[in-house]
């Protein structure tokens, strides 16, 4: 099989992947870069980000505050050296994006406008109305076009990392248009494949977020770090899971239960301010607590019978109301027009006149491919950045608007270290890589095209995986619920071997890619559930009913899940603490 070679391969054409491609061009425009993406880059999930991207810009803010908020928000699990690199490089990255054409909203005096976001003591979220991800991805995509040495492999689907001599030297990928399997060589490879929210049934995540890069790295021997930490966003639209951005609360929206009561005042998140008093900024009110706490408060209201029963096509679901009516039509149209559009189209209500029904929805994976502060994994030649990676800056709970900035900072950092690695490792073993890709081709043909008659279905296994993740490994977890989920996943991995596909065609065979994605999802789900079972404490988004307290003595450590032939092996690694000793997480107080 022929091998197409580049200095550096990037798997993923979302925010992290494109920022990495640009950073390589900035370092050395002569280096050849291959960007592989299973969808056209502008369709990557980054495009759907709404609320904004955090970076210090205002005089009343400081890098120290951004670091402190991020560390406290992550319940002291973030590595503090990584957080410091993140907050200090963030403003420069955001200005660069401005130069590349991202239309950040402005204050009347022309300076960059920022909005408050959850868990942040100062306003630092830059935004482009409520379509921030769309504008950021556009600016990155257009900028990447100016580098002639970037070759894009759009609609190519990565299947396997190719390794020789103990290092990753390329990728085997399926060209979706032709169905051919191709070998791509690279002196260094950066995974930028995004998250894995699709292991759960109710999620804001696009269907393409199936943990592909996580599974590829896991299969290549790289541990998954902190996978038990799954973020539920408190405000998803029932039925679809479409996100109502935190910006709706940042701009002053409030959450009320079935009695019209602002229930968050009962959960140590501060006292309600008068929403009609223009002199009172909303930033320290309880709706801007961190996402884990807000999602947990919903579950408590549910237990108390205080949620609203809503009829949907899928049956009756429990919701609370997000009320933005007091903001008025003018502000809604200026600051959060997309919220209005989404609520009208997908919930059939106009938020100018009616409250929006919402419930917690799986949104983001704090965990991912374990990397160091420069994006390097434990396998030489392999790097990772963006949501698929765990650097880690998000710890047990990510603060809203840190992710878009993370993919800029660490997309660029991983690219710079990949450039160095490629310079130090100039040779790849073309024959070995081609041979491995040919083996992969044979394996795919045998497994999916010649096999058949298996009694399991894709949809059946996926539904059972989704259900067991939600019931056993959701917002609140117990030993028994997690054990049941782990057992179920073990069973599903076995039964997955019996799945067959009926479409045997070559061109855009989405049944085939869906099947391969389900294999990736099962690997990611296993790492989540087993890591959650092993962590016998409650921290951030990981809430164990049977171990309700945080236990720094034993668990101020990152979990590392290693793939084995049986259950994953869980090890631990110390958290890097530099300046901010662990303390209690307190919200809703004035500074």
Ligand X SMILES: Cc1cc2nc3c(=O)[nH]c(=O)nc-3n(C[C@H](O)[C@H](O)[C@H](O)COP(=O)(O)OP(=O)(O)OC[C@H]3O[C@@H](n4cnc5c(N)ncnc54)[C@H](O)[C@@H]3O)c2cc1C
Rounded least distance, CB 426 to ligand X, Å: 26
Strand, helix or coil for residue 478: coil
- Reduced to 3 states, what is the DSSP secondary structure of residue 120? coil
Given 16, 244, 294, 518, the residue binding ligand X (CB under 6 A): 16
Position 212 contacts ligand X (CB under 6 A): yes
Angle at 54 between CA 49 and CA 57, to 5 degrees: 140
Q: Between 140 and 169, how does the x/- string for binding to ligand X read (CB under 6 A)? A: -----------------xx-----------
- Regarding 307 and contact with ligand X (CB under 6 A), the answer is no
Does 133 interact with ligand X (rule: CB under 6 A)?
A: yes
Please identify which residue in 218, 364, 496, 530 interacts with ligand X, judged by CB under 6 A. 364
Q: For residues 218 and 370, what is the distance between their CA atoms, to the nearest angstrom?
A: 10
Examine residue 13 and tell whether it contacts ligand X (CB under 6 A): yes
Structure tokens at 297: 């408060």
Task: Find the shortest distance in angstroms from Cβ 572 to ligand X.
Answer: 25
- Candidates 20, 31, 39, 396; binder of ligand X (CB under 6 A) is 39
38 in contact with ligand X (CB under 6 A): yes
Which of 34, 73, 78, 194 is close enough to bind ligand X by CB under 6 A? 194
Taking CB under 6 A as the rule, does residue 392 contact ligand X? no
Angstrom distance (rounded) from CA 498 to CA 452:
8
Cβ-based neighbour number of residue 219 at 10 Å: 14
**What single-letter DSSP state applies at residue 246?**
T
d(CA 389, CA 84): 17
Q: What are phi and psi of 376, to 5 degrees?
A: -80, 140
Least distance in Å: CB of 570 to ligand X?
25
User: Token pair for residue 129?
Assistant: 């109305």
The binder of ligand X chosen from 55, 77, 220, 243 (CB under 6 A): 243
Which range touches ligand X (CB under 6 A), out of 141-149, 187-195, 523-531, 571-579? 187-195
The count of chain residues that interact with ligand X, using the rule CB under 6 A, is 45
What is the C-alpha separation between 183 and 381, in angstroms, rounded? 16
How many angstroms separate the CA atoms of 155 and 311, rounded? 39
- Of the candidates 408, 410, 413, 332, the one whose C-alpha atom is nearest the C-alpha of residue 52 is 408
- Let me know if 233 is a catalytic residue: yes
Cα–Cα dist 13/34, whole Å: 10
246 vs 233: CA distance, rounded Å: 9
Query: Token match 């980054």: residue?
Result: 46
Smaller CB separation from ligand X, 49 or 412: 49
Which of the stretches 204-212, 272-280, 302-310, 538-546 binds ligand X when contact is defined by CB under 6 A? 204-212
Q: Report the residue number, 51 or 472, with the smaller CB distance to ligand X.
A: 51
Q: Binding of ligand X at residue 205 (CB under 6 A)?
A: yes
> Which residues belong to the active site?
233, 249
Positions that interact with ligand X (CB under 6 A): 11-17, 36-39, 41, 44-46, 48-53, 132-133, 157-158, 192-195, 204-205, 208-209, 212, 243, 245, 364, 386-388, 401-404, 407
């Amino acid at each position: 099989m022929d091998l197409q070679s580049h200095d550096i391969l990037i798997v993923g054409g979302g925010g992290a992947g494109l920022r990495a491609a640009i950073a390589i061009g900035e370092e050395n425009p002569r280096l050849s870069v291959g960007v592989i993406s299973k969808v056209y880059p502008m369709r990557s999930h980054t495009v759907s980000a709404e609320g904004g991207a955090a970076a210090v810009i205002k005089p009343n803010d400081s890098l120290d505050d951004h670091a402190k908020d991020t560390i406290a928000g992550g319940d002291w699990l973030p590595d503090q050296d990584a957080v410091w690199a993140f907050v200090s490089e963030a403003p420069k990255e955001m200005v660069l994006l401005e130069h590349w054409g991202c239309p950040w909203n402005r204050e009347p005096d022309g300076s960059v406008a920022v909005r408050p976001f959850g868990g942040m003591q100062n306003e630092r979220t830059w935004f482009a109305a409520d379509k921030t991800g769309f504008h950021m991805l556009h600016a990155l995509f257009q900028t990447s076009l100016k580098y002639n040495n970037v070759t894009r492999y759009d609609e190519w689907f990565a299947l396997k990392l190719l390794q020789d001599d103990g290092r990753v030297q390329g990728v085997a990928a399926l060209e979706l248009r032709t169905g051919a399997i191709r070998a791509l060589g690279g002196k260094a490879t950066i995974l930028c494949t995004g998250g894995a929210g699709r292991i759960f049934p109710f999620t804001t995540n696009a269907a393409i977020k199936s943990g592909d890069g996580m599974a590829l790295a896991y299969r290549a021997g790289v541990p998954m770090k902190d996978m038990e930490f799954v973020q539920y966003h408190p405000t998803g639209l029932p039925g679809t899971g479409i996100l109502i951005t935190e910006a709706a609360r940042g701009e002053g929206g409030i959450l009320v239960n079935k009695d019209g009561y602002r229930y968050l005042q009962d959960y140590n998140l501060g006292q309600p301010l008068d929403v009609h008093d223009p002199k009172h900024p909303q930033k320290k009110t309880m709706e801007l607590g961190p996402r884990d706490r807000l999602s947990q408060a919903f579950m408590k209201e549910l237990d108390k019978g205080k949620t609203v029963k809503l009829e949907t096509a899928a049956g009756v679901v429990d919701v609370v109301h997000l009320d933005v009516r007091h903001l008025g039509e003018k502000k809604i149209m200026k600051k959060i027009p997309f919220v209005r559009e989404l609520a009208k189209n997908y919930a059939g209500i106009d938020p100018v006149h009616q409250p929006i029904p919402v419930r917690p929805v799986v949104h983001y994976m704090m965990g991912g491919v374990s990397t160091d502060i420069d994006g390097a994994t434990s396998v030489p030649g392999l790097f990772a950045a963006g949501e698929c990676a765990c650097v880690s800056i998000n710890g047990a709970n990510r603060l809203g608007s840190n992710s878009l900035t993370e993919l800029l900072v660490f997309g660029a950092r991983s690219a710079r270290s990949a450039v160095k690695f490629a310079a130090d490792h100039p040779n790849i073993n073309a024959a070995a890589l081609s041979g491995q890709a040919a083996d992969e081709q044979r394996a795919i043909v045998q497994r999916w095209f010649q096999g058949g008659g298996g009694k399991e279905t894709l949809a059946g296994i996926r539904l059972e995986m989704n259900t067991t993740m939600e019931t056993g490994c959701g917002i609140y977890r117990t030993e028994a619920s997690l054990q049941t989920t782990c057992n179920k996943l073990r069973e599903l991995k076995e039964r997955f071997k019996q799945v067959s596909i009926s479409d045997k065609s070559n061109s855009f065979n989405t049944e085939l890619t869906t099947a391969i994605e389900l294999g990736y999802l099962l690997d990611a789900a296993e790492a989540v559930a087993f890591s959650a079972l092993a962590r016998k404490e409650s921290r951030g988004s990981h809430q164990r009913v049977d171990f309700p307290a945080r236990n720094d003595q034993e668990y101020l450590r990152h979990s590392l899940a290693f793939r084995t032939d049986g259950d994953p092996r869980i090890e631990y690694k110390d958290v890097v603490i530099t300046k901010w000793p662990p303390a209690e997480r307190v919200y809703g107080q004035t500074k």
